[in-house]
Amino acid sequence: MGVYAVTGAASGMGRAAADTLRAAGHTVLGVDLRDTDVAADLATPAGRRNAAEAIREAGADRLDGAVLAAGLGPVRGREREIVEVNYFAVTELLQAWRPALAAGGGGRAVVVSSNSATTTPLVPRRMVRALLAGDGAKAVRALRFHGPARAVMSYAGSKLAVSHWARREAVRPEWVGSGVRLNALAPGAVLTPLLEQQLADPSSARAVASFPVPAGGFGDPAQLADWIVFLLSDAADFMVGSVVFVDGGTDAYLRSEAW
């Protein structure tokens, strides 16, 4: 049985993935603000360092897998926090855990990105470039939007950057060359507390409810958890830097002419 680190383990898809892994007999070390094994605020560099260290100590320097699911939705006024959690808490924790993932010769990492990365038009490229360069303050300065669009762009930009980062890193020798598989999942609208919060907010409810989902309805976190567990399995051994859309057809619908 394996040892897995899961961020965002207290809610939604992270919690569903942790439950599925535990039910299969694995050891899960959860990280979240509260209600799990390691309490840490991943919006701050100190919180991320503490979380990385706590998992390293608890995981005895060897991890079979890591799931990076902690994230914030497009919440107005929290643009900086969005990029800190959705981008830096993924990239910094994975960099810290990479040696532990490589230690067993075949660790797996799954980044929970979003189809917002590809379905949101006009995401400032300067913002994405600033994130990839490690500059969160500059990334937020590049958001030349006001009102609800500002948080939407912060969210989509953080996800675009994290998908790009995952693809870029996945093929580097220190990842694939040491047997570690790094892939990303791009869910669409999945009914978790994050989406419920958007549906309850009058400034975003209509846009969320009218977003096209060809399959109809919202995704189920337990199904997304099954995809995460699949990406952690041996069956995904030939997947490197893949971004897997599980979104009821939204990305295909909105980008059907992009090829």
Give contact residues for ligand NAI (rule: CB under 6 A). Answer: 8, 10-14, 32-33, 41-43, 69-72, 85-86, 112, 114, 187, 189-190, 192-195
Closest CB to ligand NAI among residues 118, 192: 192
Of the pair 21, 72, the CB lying nearest ligand NAI is at: 72
What's the DSSP call for residue 84?
A: I
> Do 201 and 128 form a contact (C-beta atoms < 8 A)?
no
- The minimum distance between CB 173 and ligand NAI, in angstroms, equals 28
User: Pick the catalytic residue: 4, 87, 155, 253?
Assistant: 155
Q: What is the DSSP string of 141-204?
A: HT----THHHHHHHHHHHHHHHHHHHHHHHTSTTTGGGT-EEEEEEE-SB-SHHHHHHHHSHHH
> Least distance to ligand NAI from the beta carbon of 109, Å?
14
Residues in the chain: 259
**174 or 200: whose CB is closer to ligand NAI?**
200
Catalytic site residue 4? Answer: no
Smaller CB separation from ligand NAI, 112 or 229: 112
Integer Cα distance of 58 and 49 in angstroms: 14
CB–CB of 61/103 below 8 Å? Answer: yes
Task: Enumerate the active-site residues.
Answer: 155
